[in-house]
Amino acid sequence: MSRLRNYPHFERQSVFSASQSDLWTMKGFIILAFIVSVICPAVYMQDVFVYGTLKKGQPNYFRMENTSNGQAVFLARARTVEPYPLVIATKHNIPFLLNAPGTGQRVYGEIYRVDQKMLEFLDKFEGCPQFYQRTKIQLEVQDGDAEGENTLKPGSIEEAFVYRKTTYESEWLQKPTYESYDANGDHGLKYIDSDTESTPDTSSATQQNTAEPIIMRDSVYTGCGTAQCDMTNPQQ
């Protein structure tokens, strides 16, 4: 220590060198963080509740598994906190969750955690916002097989996006309601994939001009990811 006092220039030089080293280390971390953010941008995930043909074992489930559409991770089975009318309508026998809380049944479905790419795909696939409207819904978790941060506790109340109908024909409220949709159920209304049909769906559900009265329910609209949606080809 006494020797260092005899060489004050050496002591100052050592401190300066250490400060420079710390500065370069900090710059290195900043540059590395920037590179990682560009190459591997943050992935924002959203929870989506599906109740129709996108469920496991149903005609359109393969779209949830197709990674070219985006990422979808199954979290749990759940049912709506409030009852809703789940009906089957149009000539394609499509399942619709009508935005009429308090009527119908508590509807069973599945919660998936999806990335932005899959959410945008689902918006287009569901014809949102012209045909279905993507809104938030309260759900009671039943069970699941997810692990880690994706684990949802049975009995807990969760919120997720859902594609439902806020505008529909009044006669739809008179249709039978279901608590769990199955394309091959005993209702006898076999689901028809409009992608495989050569003629477009001209039913009143996909037309703006109809003689039937239309019911419009207020709902919190959260917006859809696609600028243009195909309203003639919804496949819920």
Catalytic residues: 126
- Does a cis peptide bond (omega within 30 degrees of 0) precede residue 41? no
Question: Can you spell out the DSSP letters for 117-171?
Answer: HHHHHHHHHTTTTTSSEEEEEEEEEEE----GGG---TT-EEEEEEEEBSEEEGG
Distance, in Å, from the CA atom of 117 to the CA atom of 113, rounded to the nearest integer, reads 12
CA neighbor of 160 nearest in space, from 77, 102, 84, 87: 77
Distance, in Å, from the CA atom of 201 to the CA atom of 218, rounded to the nearest integer, reads 26
Question: Can you spell out the DSSP letters for 33-89?
Answer: HHHHHHHSPPPP-EEEEE-STTSTTSTTHHHHH-GGG--EEEEEEEEESS-B-EEEE
CA neighbor of 79 nearest in space, from 135, 139, 164: 139
